[in-house]
Amino acid sequence: MDDSTIVCKCEEINLAEIETAIKSGAHTFDDIKRLTRCGMGPCQAKVCSNLVRQIISESLDKPLSDIRPPRMRMPLKPTRISALVGDEESSSVISVFSESAPKEGDEDHV
Amino acid sequence: METDLLIVGGGPAGLHAAYVAASNGIKTIIVDESFSLGGQLRQQTQQLNNLPKQFGDQTGTALAQTLIERLTNLDVTVLLKHTMIGTYKDGRVGVSNGQNTIPIAAKKVIVATGAAEEAFVFPGWTLPGVMTAGAAQILMNREHVIPGKNALVIGSNDFALEVGKQLVENGVCLQGIVDNEVQLVGKKAETVHFLKEAGVPVYLDSFVKHASGSGEVEKVIISYNNTEEEMDIDLVCIGKGLTPILEPFEILNCDFTYEKELGGWLPQYSTMMETSTSSIYVAGNAAGITNLGPILLTAEIAAVSVAETLNGLSKEEANVKRELSWQELYRLESAESQNAFHARVNLMRSFQDNVDAQLTQLFNMFVGGV
């Protein structure tokens, strides 16, 4: 591995950026996430979670059992806002989003 | 929607749990994000040994068929292309089909979301042509597409070796198996023998230094015996193991623990397979990376426990069934590796005070034997 090797594919964060974050005091996945956007792309850290934990473990000489996975949040998969709102006519959210909500036939580009 | 039991995940654990629960009169819904049931069994064309006795030996694809067909005539609703995306404040589970989000009110939930394949980093790993061993297997066995011409497999666990074998069988030139371990991780003699006969080079104590190419993988440099070897490669399969999928458990407020031998972080659970959140159960690889036998048996234990609490089974019946399942689980899991079962017991003991009392017979046998 060299410094330019990508670790988080979604946000294109490389090894050097993660190591710099650790040198700046980051010691959890979420610290690194806040400093670099690592793990904040479409896969939501599903691919890089354990890779980054491994790097933290090696850099700080801490066992993997001391390094928790990142905070996981809803929605668990990329979901259109229109799908979250649903088809309830009475929803106040839908009235706000109706103008910008994707129409039938619009393609996903998530 | 309302149901007694919601099962998240329609792979082997979810399907088997649905059968056991529904056969005991429990109204069940299975949600799965895919367009068909079976989960990872759908591309497992290889013969599976060490299944629970009732299943004999069969291929993964045949087993998927068996598990799906058994649900006919039972009170099981299957929602395909439906993904659990979250929960509501009142505990209902939110499931999305891409158009709408549907709340499901379930008395009990079994999360059987399985595992994800571990990624593995080296310079060039983001190039097209680098994929997990499981992805290569999906291409071959489900899509009937040859994933490449000249392949390299990284990792030597049983699954990585099996995929290596299937690549060879499909006419792919397997240029080598590379692992940083000093000996093969996989133990299945038959697969090792096949690869040896096929003349596949094995590079142990070695690693991929670099993969390169314009737009896709074309060359790979491996470091082997303090020398470097450059190979023409258009397919790199990463088979470095599995890790439990955790997202649904975090959303359901389940506590996690760490057990290396079970794949790393995973939800805590009791001998009933109930997590730290009441009424939320876990089954399959999400409860610790293991083989298909124990995957099915954890599902059985979870479903029996659900049936018991919803009065589909008496306490006595449930105890007998659970004890038999745990004994078979012990037998099948420890046949492959003592460590995984130890880790499981360790996990349950750290969570539940009375593990030993609950399964006296099994654990007397187990503690006495170790």
In which band, very low, low, confident or very high, does the pLDDT at A89 lie, cut at 50, 70 and 90? low
Which residues in chain A are contacts of B243 at CB distance < 8 A? Answer: 50
Cβ proximity of B13 and B112 under 8 Å: yes
Scored b (16 or more CB within 10 A) or e, B125-134 reads: bebebbbbbb
Contact A83 B247 (CB under 8 A): no
Does a cis peptide bond (omega within 30 degrees of 0) precede residue A75? yes
> Which of B85, B119, B265 has its CB closest to that of A76?
B85
A84 touches chain B (CB under 8 A): yes
SS3 B205: coil
- Spatial distance between the Cα atoms of B151 and B299, rounded to a whole number of angstroms: 36
Q: What is the mean pLDDT of residues B202-223?
A: 97
Measured in angstroms, the CA of B258 and the nearest CA of chain A are apart by 6
Q: Are residues B123 and B170 in the same domain?
A: yes
Radius of gyration (C-alpha) of chain B in whole angstroms: 21
Of the candidates B172, B207, B238, which is a domain's last residue? Answer: B238
A87 touches chain B (CB under 8 A): yes
> ipTM, 2 decimals?
0.91
Instruction: Using a cut of 0.90, tell me whether the model's pTM lies above it.
Output: yes
- Spatial distance between the Cα atoms of B215 and B71, rounded to a whole number of angstroms: 46
Q: Are residues B249 and B149 in the same domain?
A: no
Q: Are residues B280 and B356 in the same domain?
A: yes
In which band, very low, low, confident or very high, does the pLDDT at B102 lie, cut at 50, 70 and 90? very high
Q: Are residues B67 and B155 in the same domain?
A: no
DSSP class of residue B97 equals: -
Q: Does residue B357 have a pLDDT over 80?
A: no
**In chain A, which among 6-45 make CB contacts under 8 A with chain B?**
6-7, 9, 15
List, for residues A31-52, the tens digit of each pLDDT value. 999 999 999 999 999 999 999 9
- CATH number for position B69: 3.50.50.60
Judged by average pLDDT, the poorest of B17-31, B56-70, B263-277, B325-339 is B325-339
B122 touches chain A (CB under 8 A): yes
Task: Determine the pLDDT at residue A110.
Answer: 45
* Domain with residues A6-66, CATH architecture: Orthogonal Bundle (1.10)
Task: Determine the pLDDT at residue B353.
Answer: 78
Q: What is the mean pLDDT of residues A70-75?
A: 94
Residue B326 is encoded by which pair of tokens? 């745990």
Which has more pLDDT, A5 or A110? A5
Given CA atoms B15, B18, B24, B29 in this order, what sign does their dihedral have?
negative
Q: Are residues B266 and B173 in the same domain?
A: no
- Spatial distance between the Cα atoms of B93 and B86, rounded to a whole number of angstroms: 6
- Spatial distance between the Cα atoms of B8 and B366, rounded to a whole number of angstroms: 32
Suggest the residue from A43, A76, A77, A89 to mutate for an interface test with chain B (most B CBs closer than 10 A): A76
Cβ proximity of B237 and B151 under 8 Å: yes
List, for residues B2-26, the tens digit of each pLDDT value. 999 999 999 999 999 999 999 999 9
Q: Are residues B27 and B111 in the same domain?
A: yes
Q: Are residues B136 and B61 in the same domain?
A: no
Q: Does residue B113 have a pLDDT over 70?
A: yes
A-B C-beta contacts closer than 8 Å = 80
Q: What is the mean pLDDT of residues B239-249?
A: 97
In which band, very low, low, confident or very high, does the pLDDT at B338 lie, cut at 50, 70 and 90? confident
Of the candidates B187, B220, B238, which is a domain's last residue? Answer: B238
Q: Does residue B121 have a pLDDT over 60?
A: yes
Measured N-to-C along each axis, helices B360-369 and B315-336 cross at an angle, to the nearest 10 degrees, of: 20
Name the residue range of residue B311's domain: 2-116+242-369
If one counts every other C-beta atom within 10 angstroms of the C-beta of residue B271, the result is 24
C-alpha torsion B251→B254→B256→B261, nearest 10: -100
Q: Are residues B362 and B247 in the same domain?
A: yes
Our count of domains for chain B comes to: 2
Task: Determine the pLDDT at residue B341.
Answer: 92
Q: Does residue B370 have a pLDDT over 50?
A: no
Of the candidates B238, B273, B289, which is a domain's last residue? Answer: B238
Contact B119 A47 (CB under 8 A): yes
Which residues in chain A are contacts of B254 at CB distance < 8 A? Answer: none
Q: What is the mean pLDDT of residues B119-134?
A: 97
**In chain B, which among 69-98 make CB contacts under 8 A with chain A?**
83-87, 94, 96-98
Most confident of A87-101, B15-29, B346-360: B15-29
> Which of A1, A72, A87 has its CB closest to that of B246?
A72
What is the residue-averaged pLDDT of chain B? 94
> Of B271, B263, B256, nearest to B348 (Cα)?
B271
Q: Does residue B134 have a pLDDT over 60?
A: yes
DSSP class of residue B274 equals: B
Q: Are residues B258 and B351 in the same domain?
A: yes
Task: Compute the half-sphere exposure of residue B354: CA atoms within 13 Å on the CB side of its CA.
Answer: 3
Q: Where are the domains of chain A?
A: 6-66, 74-105
- Spatial distance between the Cα atoms of B235 and B312, rounded to a whole number of angstroms: 51
